[in-house]
Structure 1
Amino acid sequence: MNVPVKVVYRNLLPQYKEGVQGEVRLLSGKLDKFHPDIISCRIVVEMPHKHHHEGNLFRATITLNVPDKQIVVSREHPLSQIRENIYVAVRHAFDDAIRQLEEYDLVKSRDVKDHDLIPHGVVSKLFARQGYGFIEGSDGREIYFHKNSVLDGFNKLKLGIAVRFEEEEGEKGPQASTVKILRTAPTYRRRH
């Protein structure tokens, strides 16, 4: 990468920091392939706090500044197999950053409109105590999501709120791997 990469480690034991440091440097070096005009890059790898009832989480947050835009991605993974999950959080954050850099390039080159990039819908069912819900997509399909896939915080969700999501195939059908709350309403009307 042509610009210096600032890496911050928070609340990590030294052995975890040493283990993931090489992975962070390797992955950050590949970002130039997807967008050569990165102005700055900051990466935070942390274990934010201890959840005594839910287990601990690892979080990787990447902040990229490119001309006319700041890209911020954050991924969390539960602490069940320590070494594996810290790497998963880091890799998924870099995958998200790369995807957003590619989308930024498409929009900048005007090959695609910004609102066409990621599917959107509304939260149609919410099971707060169990930590999951469903999104009704713009195509009318119902997509499952888990609280860990909500980037803005699961507790901020309400029925009918507009979201964008990344879809993948789960064990029982389609599911959202990431869910982002939209600040504006979607361009379609919800069916009753």
Structure 2
Amino acid sequence: MKIPLQITYNHLEKDPAIDKLVRAKVEKIEQFCNYMNSCRVTLEKVHENPDSGSPYRVQIDMTVPPSHELVVDRSPDRGVQYTPLDVVVRDAFDAARRQLQELKERQRNEVKRHPDQQMVAVVSELHPDENYGFLKTINTGRELYFNRQSSDQFDRLEVGTGVQYREVPGEGDRPYAISLKIVNKPGERETKSDESNIEAPMGWR
């Protein structure tokens, strides 16, 4: 697992089985979207004996380059009483995957509409002492090699940085990236209009 994961329990005893489930779900999401900056999962017991629904709440907070924050909040308040925690976890991660799918589609469409303005890859691996790294393309998920000569902004790069680049053939017909230009660094917002990139929790009113 490459995605930084933080699991927090509130008013609950830490449960190894739930930990294992959460990590398995994050690994599946990583296969689908492996350029996330972070994933925070909060597990909380909000009611001891609710009249209906589940006593548990699960919140998933994901950050995705260049400046997107996706939040899923699941706390069933109707339906089957005492929905088990593992069921709420599974439901929350299903919703998280749907949000990521929608975001990836929007990113692909933005790249097609504004190819000169949009981030088309993120730095997925960086070895500054050895003067090289790898990019992960947004639209296809391919990995591309680059080195210090590929960018005059090399020293500003870090894992999660969004970049534009040019692709050229390398040794053995393996392409590599040159002319890297930073679009966004982790945690930065592109413009004030990007406030719309922060997604409200699923089911929030």
Question: What TM-score does the superposition give when structure 2 sets the normalisation length?
Answer: 0.48
Question: CA separation of 1:80/1:32 partners in 2, compared to 1, >3 Å: closer, same or farther?
Answer: same
Q: CA deviation at 1:109?
A: 0.7
- The answer to whether the aligner puts 1:20 opposite 2:34 as a matched pair is no
Match of 1:34 among 29, 32, 35: 32
CA distance in 2, matches of 1:28, 1:90: 11
- Equivalent residue for 1:63? 61
Give the counterpart letter for 2:68 in structure 1: K
Compute the displacement of 1:66 (Å): 0.2
Per the alignment, residue 95 of structure 1 pairs with 94
Could you say what secondary structure the match of 1:96 adopts? Answer: helix
Going from structure 1 to structure 2, the CA distance change for 1:45 and 1:101 (only over 3 Å counts) comes to same
What are the residue-to-residue correspondences of 1:1-192 with 2, within 5 Å?
1-14=1-14, 17-50=15-48, 53-54=51-52, 57-67=55-65, 68-77=67-76, 80-81=81-82, 85-110=84-109, 179-181=203-205
Identity of counterpart residues, as a percentage? 29
Shift of 1:3: 2.4
Separation of aligned partners in 2, 1:9 and 1:80:
21
Compute the displacement of 1:13 (Å): 3.5
2:52–2:81: 8 Å Cα contact kept in structure 1? no
Alignment length, in residue pairs?
A: 112
Shift of the 52–42 alpha-carbon distance from structure 1 to 2, 3 Å rule, reads: closer
Shift in alpha-carbon separation, 1:56–1:98, aligned structure 2, 3 A: closer
Structure possessing the higher relative contact order (Cα contacts under 8 Å, 6 or more residues apart): 2
- In structure 2, C-alpha distance between the alignment counterparts of 1:60 and 1:6, rounded to whole Å: 13
Q: Distance in 2 between matches of 1:59 and 1:28?
A: 18
Q: Which moved more, 1:70-79 or 1:60-69?
A: 70-79
Paired residues of 2:61 and 2:72 also in contact (CA < 8 A): yes
- What CA distance in whole angstroms lies between the structure 1 residues aligned with 2:3 and 2:17? 23
Partner Cα separation in structure 1 for residue 203 and residue 76 of structure 2: 15
Structure 1 unmatched ranges of 5 or more: 112-177, 182-192
Kindly indicate whether the alpha-carbon contact (under 8 Å) linking 1:50 and 1:56 is maintained by their aligned counterparts in 2. no
- SS, match of residue 8 in structure 2: strand
- The structure in which a higher percent of residues are strand is 1
Q: Secondary structure of the equivalent of 1:109? A: helix
Q: How far 1:20 sits from its partner (Å)? A: 1.2
Listed as ranges, the gaps of 5+ residues in structure 2 are: 111-201
1:58 and 1:76 in contact (8 A); partners too: yes
TM-score w.r.t. the length of structure 1 is: 0.51
